[in-house]
Amino acid sequence: MLQPAQQKFRKQSRGRMRGLATRCNTVSFGEYGLKVIDRGWVTARQIEAVRIALSRFMKRKGKVWIRVFPDKPVTLRPAETRMGTGKGNPEFWVAVVKPGQVCFEVGGLSEGEAAECIRLAGAKLPMKSICVKRRMGL
């Protein structure tokens, strides 16, 4: 599972997810991409599930690029704990995803195969997503 090797602080605030994606909003490496329409958190387990779904469908042809990395720790308190005992321990890692961000890219497939591959991968994510094609000439 993906997680940072080290970080400066163990715990982070939840933060806000306002606005649209200004980075990673175009297909840069592959020919087709999975673009997210909603905002939310994508956990390391979900990223791994998408990676496995993509690689199983492609069967050693083509290449996958993962454009998101879970670098935000999410803390949970133990069950049946009273208020006022402080913040819980980091339990899992998430990547913050905004609308318009291209999270995964594939290359080396035909258009029909890539569309089906990305549709299967999008089913593993907790938000709506679409398949986008690389714009030539930019």
3-state DSSP helix/strand/coil % of the chain, to nearest 5: 20, 30, 55
Domains and CATH numbers, the chain: 32-76+90-133 (3.90.1170.10)
CA torsion through residues 52, 57, 58, 60, sign? positive
- Please give the average per-residue pLDDT across 23-32, as a whole number: 94
pLDDT in tens, 52-76: 999 999 998 999 999 999 999 999 9
- Quick check: 138 pLDDT over 60? no
Per-residue pLDDT at 21: 95
pLDDT in tens, 90-128: 999 999 999 999 999 999 999 999 999 999 999 999 999
CA torsion through residues 109, 114, 116, 121, sign? positive
Judge if pTM exceeds 0.75: yes
β-pairing, 89-97 with 72-76? antiparallel
Greatest extent of the chain over all pairs of C-alpha atoms, in Å: 59
